[in-house]
Structure 1
């Protein structure tokens, strides 16, 4: 069975680190493998650091954003790419909330879910244009928009992906 180390995540971590030079915002990316185990007869999720991952593994990707300045930051935008070797599943439950937007063009444009696109079909010999909903599995990037991040405030934002 092949094991993957998402190189996109390494690039994201390096890019995030480099982008923080002289920035009032500290960003940390955490990637964990999610496993469901049975404890006391009930299914429980356990997380462990992702090091090498096999197809089908579910990963929790969490960004911790901290305002390290002495002033509130307004309209903070935090884009995070969905690693190419993975498929977006859903937002991570139980984390802080922020306005979330998604991209299907590699992060060039973002919009709130559900994303839609127009497709042209032929029905009864006529060309018909319809708007169809895009599946979350097609999302390539996620952008969090935080209206205000107070001085010293920390938020955790994230989502789950599955290794292809």
Structure 2
């Protein structure tokens, strides 16, 4: 089986996340391998921080901690994070507080709340027609969080899970 090294992805994502911070917001990106383990007869999830290699089909958690370093409250700050190349978006972590989560299917050019829709051309009864269809989350390329309010010195954990191709 082919192994994938997420370290380069993590470096690229961190650079992208930091480059998008136009406010005094400290962003720290972490990546963990999600494993299901059985302990005392119960299945639980275990996060393995900063894995050095992963196999196709593995689930990774991309977590971003945003900390307000401004010294006063911040509001309506957008934080963007691309879905890593070689992975497929699965779901978002539930953020605390008032956070609006938006998604993109065009590499971050446009964002909207889920479920996203797109127009496709299909043939019905011999005629070409355009239909609006719901986009599968596996087509998401970027995630944006708009933070409602973040107190001075406050931190918030954001993130999502992906599956390695």
Same fold flag (TM > 0.5): yes
Q: Using the alignment, how far apart are the partners of 2:140 and 2:20 within structure 1?
A: 24
Unaligned runs of 5+ in 1: none
- 1:125-155 per-residue CA deviation (whole Å, 9 max, x = no partner) reads 2222211011000101000011111101100
Over aligned residues, Cα RMSD in angstroms? 1.7
Whether the 8 Å CA contact 2:17–2:81 is kept in 1: the answer is no
Q: Which residue of 2 aligns with 1:91?
A: 92
Deviation at 1:18, TM superposition (A): 5.6
Q: Bigger shift: 24-33 or 48-57?
A: 48-57
Q: Which residue of 1 aligns with 2:55?
A: 54
- 1:5-33 per-residue CA deviation (whole Å, 9 max, x = no partner) reads 2333211213444666x941000011000
- 1:78-136 per-residue CA deviation (whole Å, 9 max, x = no partner) reads 0000001100001125x425210111111111111111001121211222221101100
State the number of aligned residues.
162
Q: Using the alignment, how far apart are the partners of 1:42 and 1:74 within structure 2?
A: 41
Whether the 8 Å CA contact 2:13–2:84 is kept in 1: the answer is no
SS of the residue corresponding to residue 53 of structure 1 reads coil
Q: Which residue of 1 aligns with 2:4?
A: 4
Q: Which residue of 2 aligns with 1:152?
A: 153
SS of the residue corresponding to residue 9 of structure 2 reads helix
Q: Bigger shift: 76-85 or 118-127?
A: 118-127
Q: Which residue of 1 aligns with 2:71?
A: 70
Q: Which residue of 2 aligns with 1:111?
A: 112
Q: Using the alignment, how far apart are the partners of 2:18 and 2:141 within structure 1?
A: 21
